[in-house]
Structure 1
Amino acid sequence: MTKILGIIPSRYGSQRLRGKALIDIGGKTMVQRVFEQASKAQKLDKVIVATDDERIFTHVKDFGGEAIMTSHNHPTGTDRCAEVALRFQKEYDVCINIQGDEPFINPDQIDELARLFSDPKTEIGTLISRIEDYDELFDHKEAKVVFNAKTFEAMYISRSPIPYYKDKIQPQWLKLHPYYKNLGIYGFKTDILANISQLPMSALEIAEGLEQVRWLEHYRIKVGISKMSTLSIDTADDLAKASKFV
């Protein structure tokens, strides 16, 4: 039986919304809401908050959650999760990186991702959803994914819309081809996650500004198509939108 660890990387510093992990959203902090939602997932055997901040660590312990202190030197949440994976690689087969800024994440979505690992060949898994909006298709903040039809493994991930229709005007593209975006939640075989931060940055990763491209150069990434959406809170405007969910 596959044992799965859910890891929520959480830091206090944030370029656009400082201290957002501890921001109150309808009577609960963001990190508490993420933890509670993740804990409802049926496929997770344990949920841990990984942080480098004593305030977050203490707060998680106070509301009854489990937390672990990690290094201050991690450039990404994936690197923070990799440190945790290194500690738990003998206990858990799979680790799922659950974004710490999605307080209303649907537990079913976490289970959706976890089910990709019922295939023993899955090394890394992620969820994607179909793009329905023109502005979203050309939004460089959204990572687009193309995948093969046989194994549902990613072929490439880019900030650019892929494929590019050279003979068609851009407003027509969505009608001509199904485009997909990455939902930002990833699962890893634990030994792969423990080693992934040791991989050198690649030219493609530097060009795209996407760490997923580096992983793709070394491992297979299986995708699952999800119809569920989540709200990521990065700005004060996002925080205002969150009040509608409480």
Structure 2
Amino acid sequence: MKTMIVIPARLASSRLSEKLLLRAAGKSILQHTYEAAKRAAITDSIIVAADDPRIVAEVDSFGGEARLTSVDCQSGTDRLAEIALMHSDVDLFVNVQGDEPEISPATIDAVARLLATRPDADIATAAFPILDESKLHDPACVKVVMGANDRAILFSRASVPHVRDGITPAHLQASPPIFWQHIGLYAYRRDFLLWFATQPAGRLEQLEKLEQLRAIEAGKTIVVTAIESSPPGIDTLEDFREFVARIENQ
């Protein structure tokens, strides 16, 4: 199957202004992300779906490919759908967030390959075990509950599944793991992506502010590949400073 990585890139950011253009070790956050994504083996091409000419100019400066998408796009998924409309020859689109400069190419490959080998699925994504109880109660940490055949049953900012009698160390150390942290990396089939972008937000989606719940509510199938861990993205100034420290000490 022909696969394209798309990096939806917004200039504005509520918690860290214009973070994708911040520089570390001589490169922007966006360039670090682009180069990490480019190391994935599964992809045939990679495009940045930008919302501002300054993003396009940045991608041009390091020799990448960018497309300026509509100002009417409400989300990164809408930007992917707009790119998908331009590429009817592509089967799978992988959404890599622009603020993930340390994203693992192997994780990108695992998510794309999972969808390619699961004709029953509409979306593939990834999750890793939660071993720290504080993460379970952190709404910024999105949890996923999986059922048979690695199918996602629920995504939530709440602590799920709920342990009625209280969480113990044994629950956190269980094998296989009970609690999983979702990461915002997705592979979509083209037809599903185009359908998804035309649908109104679902009730659960509006409550949790989690787009993937739109698919769950509509009865679509999301499959999840298990990974050991995932590096943090850049959401805050502290995240950025920690990334700079890591990359400059390599």
The reply on whether 1:141 has 2:137 as its aligned counterpart is no
Query: What is the match of residue 164 of structure 1?
Result: 162
Unaligned runs of 5+ in 2: none
Q: Which residue is 1:35 aligned to?
A: 34
Q: Deviations over 1:46-79 (max 9, x none)?
A: 0000001111101211211000010112222111
Q: State how far apart, in whole Å, the 2-side matches of 1:227 and 1:169 are.
A: 21
**Equivalent residue for 1:217?**
217
Q: What is the CA–CA distance in structure 2 between the aligned matches of 1:134 and 1:225, rounded to whole Å?
A: 19
Q: Which residue of the partner structure matches residue 125 of structure 1?
A: 124
Q: 2 CA distance for matches of 1:96 and 1:191? A: 13
Tell me the residue number matched to 2:202: 202
The answer (yes or no) to whether the contact 2:81–2:197 under 8 Å persists in 1 is yes
8 A contact 1:78–1:197 mirrored in 2: yes
In the other structure, the counterpart of 1:22 is: 21
User: After alignment, is 20-29 or 173-182 more displaced?
Assistant: 173-182
Contact 1:129 1:226 in 2 (8 A): yes
Are the counterparts in 2 of residues 86 and 191 from structure 1 also a CA contact under 8 Å? no
Following the alignment from structure 1 to structure 2, what is the Cα–Cα distance between the partners of residues 3 and 121? 18
Q: 1:170: how far off?
A: 6.8
Deviation (angstroms), 1:245 = 2.7
2:50 corresponding residue in structure 1: 51
Q: Which letter maps to 1:94?
A: L
Q: Which residue of 2 aligns with 1:232?
A: 233
Q: Is the 8 A contact 2:100 2:233 kept in 1?
A: yes
The DSSP-based 3-state class of the residue aligned with 1:79 is helix
Of 72-81 and 121-130, more deviation after overlay is shown by 72-81
* 2:101 match: 103
Q: Name the CA distance, whole Å, in 2 between partners of 1:228 and 1:47.
A: 24
Deviation at 1:19, TM superposition (A): 1.0
Question: Is 1:191 aligned to 2:223, yes or no?
Answer: no
Distance in 2 between residues matched to 1:25 and 1:3, nearest whole Å = 33
Distance 1:126 1:169 in 2: 26
Give per-residue Cα distances to partners, 1:210-238, cap 9 Å, x unaligned. Answer: 11111112210010001131220011000
- C-alpha deviation, 1:122, in angstroms: 2.4
Deviation at 1:209, TM superposition (A): 1.6
Note the alpha carbon deviations across 1:165-193, whole angstroms, 9 max, x for none: 22225777535662001111011001111
SS at match of 1:156: strand
Secondary structure of residue in 2 paired with 1:35 = helix
Whether contact under 8 Å (1:6, 1:38) holds in the other structure is yes
Q: Aligned AA for 2:187?
A: G
1:91 aligned partner: 89
Percent pairwise identity: 38
TM superposition outliers: structure 1 runs of 4+ over 6 Å: none
**8 Å CA contact 2:131, 2:173 repeated in 1:** no
Report the more deviating stretch, 72-81 or 109-118: 72-81
**Equivalence for 1:115:** 113
Query: SS of the residue aligned with 1:224?
Result: strand
**Is the 1:143–1:182 contact (alpha carbons within 8 Å) kept by the matching residues of 2?**
yes
Distance in 2 between the 1:231 and 1:158 partners?
A: 19
Alignment of 1:164-183 (within 5 A): 164-168=162-166, 173-175=171-173, 178-183=178-183
What residue identity is the alignment partner of 2:193?
Answer: L
- Structure 1: tracts of 5 or more residues without a match: none
2:190 is aligned with what amino acid? T
Cα offsets for 1:79-111 (capped at 9, x unmatched): 1111111221x1110000001001111111111
